[in-house]
Amino acid sequence: MSGRSLDHTVQAFEFIEELDRLATPQAIIDAMERSFAQYGFENFIMTGLPHPEQRIEGLVLLKKWPLGWYERYTRNSYDRHDPVIHLCRRTVQPFEWGEARYDPDTNPKGQEIMQGAADFGMRQGYCLPIHGLNGFEACLSMSGPDLDLTPQTKPAIHLMAMYAFERARLVLAPAPRPNPLTNREREALRWAALGKSAADTGEILGVTERTITAHIGSACAKLTAANKTHAVARALQHRLIEI
């Protein structure tokens, strides 16, 4: 191990020890600002990932973002199209913003969002997805004009980000948000995702077709989905069900 990577280890462990003593969101923001600056990070946001019926503003744990960018981002509901958020839902590994690919044909706003961020000095980024209990999904996304992301620095950044997130969650939002679907609704959607009709599912679960249709109906309402297919797609996308 080189001297330099030993430094990264020491700094990461010192940061984690420091976090334990921090009791307010502002203290966490200040500590993150100091410790992540050495890797070139200037901005960061910690936020839950919204379910279909939620807005991102209500889920932000803490942030150090240019105000103009935050206003533009929330006003335009960019989280619905943000390639970084999309990748967060699909991976458990941290990634660089550049790895969050998007197809300009199907997601024309992707380009607008990434360019907009760059205009605010957020040219490069590193994002840590969090997949917690009961379908709780969140991320810590950090950025700057010129980042020091190498195989030597990334493990330290990964660990620091994970513990910064946990500290903020403890200080701000004690409990993960529960899955809005009941067990029966989830079960009905899972079978639908596997190609079963309501009648099939009723037979499998030993209840009537009408009961299954009712479960699907209430799941649709909770997910603001137009129909069963839409509900299945949303439930999978938001990891409310697994197949």
Helical H segments across 144-225, by residue range: 154-172, 183-193, 198-205, 209-222
Given 4, 7, 9, 26, the residue binding another protein (CB under 8 A): 9
Tokens of 234: 């949303």
Pairing of β 95-96 and β 60-64: unpaired
Q: Which is nearer to another protein, 117 or 216 (CB)?
A: 216
Stretch that binds another protein, among 39-47, 82-90, 165-173, 204-212 (CB under 8 A): 165-173
241 contacts another protein (rule: CB under 8 A): yes
Binding mask 177-206 for another protein (x = CB under 8 A): --x---x--x--------------------
Four-point Cα dihedral 84, 90, 91, 92, nearest 10: 110
8 contacts another protein (rule: CB under 8 A): yes
CB of 176 to another protein, least distance (A): 5
Q: How far apart are CA 193 and CA 196, in angstroms?
A: 7
Binding mask 125-154 for another protein (x = CB under 8 A): ----xxxxxxxx------------------
End-to-end CA distance of the chain: 42
CB of 143 to another protein, least distance (A): 21
Q: Which is nearer to another protein, 98 or 155 (CB)?
A: 155
Total residues at interface with another protein (CB under 8 A): 30
171 contacts another protein (rule: CB under 8 A): no
CA angle 89, 154, 166 (to 5 degrees): 55
DSSP state letters, 134-163: GG-EEEEEEEESS----TTTHHHHHHHHHH
Long-range pairs of 231-237 with CB within 8 A, sequence gap ≥ 24: 231/189, 231/192, 232/189, 232/192, 232/193, 234/52, 235/181, 235/186, 235/189, 235/193, 236/193, 237/89
Q: Which is nearer to another protein, 123 or 190 (CB)?
A: 190
**Three-state SS for 196?**
coil
Binding to another protein (CB under 8 A): which residues in 86-105? 92-93
172 contacts another protein (rule: CB under 8 A): no
Binding mask 37-76 for another protein (x = CB under 8 A): ----------------------------------------
Q: Which helix (H) or strand (E) holds 5?
A: helix 3-20
CB of 151 to another protein, least distance (A): 10
Site residues (vs another protein, CB under 8 A): 8-9, 12-13, 16, 92-93, 129-136, 155-156, 158-159, 162-163, 165-166, 169, 176, 179, 183, 186, 241-242
